[in-house]
Amino acid sequence: MSSKKQAIEMRKFTAAEQRAAKAERVSVSEAEPYGWVAESKAGKETYILYSSPFTKRLVCTCADYIYRGKDDPAYECKHVTAVLKFIARWYLANEYDPIRQVCKNS
Ligand SMILES: [Zn+2]
């Protein structure tokens, strides 16, 4: 497939969908003493993410988040998307309790 055709194919996805795809190329680890480190697989960019105590949402230190997130606290850059998946996997492996979910939902 030509790069021009690929570019046209990519435009069929929303910006959020394209970010979700890019999140697959971000590796995540725990930061010290808290928060998370998001790193591009190429290893060129490293960002720190933390959970805002006010919004209960992840905040990223990348330019994309700072620029687009300032007017939209629900904005999710590719690092936020990657960290959310990391946290979800950790939660399922360590914290998830179906009994608590049943109690919460009933
Ligand atoms: Zn980011």
**pLDDT tens for each residue of 49-61:** 999 999 899 999 9
Helix H or strand E encompassing 4: helix 3-10
DSSP reduced 3-state for 63? helix
For 69-105, the pLDDT digits (tens) are 888 878 999 999 999 999 999 999 999 999 999 998 8
| DSSP 8-state symbol, 38 | E
Rounded to the nearest whole angstrom, what is the distance from the C-alpha of residue 102 to the centroid of ligand 1?
34
Q: How far is the CA of 3 from the centre of ligand 1 (A)?
A: 26
C-alpha 83 to ligand 1 mean position (Å) = 10
Buried b (16+ CB within 10 A) or exposed e, 45-64: eebebeeeeeeeebbbebeb
What is the distance in A from the centroid of ligand 1 to the CA of 92? 24
SS3 (DSSP) at 25? coil
**pTM of this prediction?**
0.82
Separation of CA 90 and ligand 1 centre (Å): 20
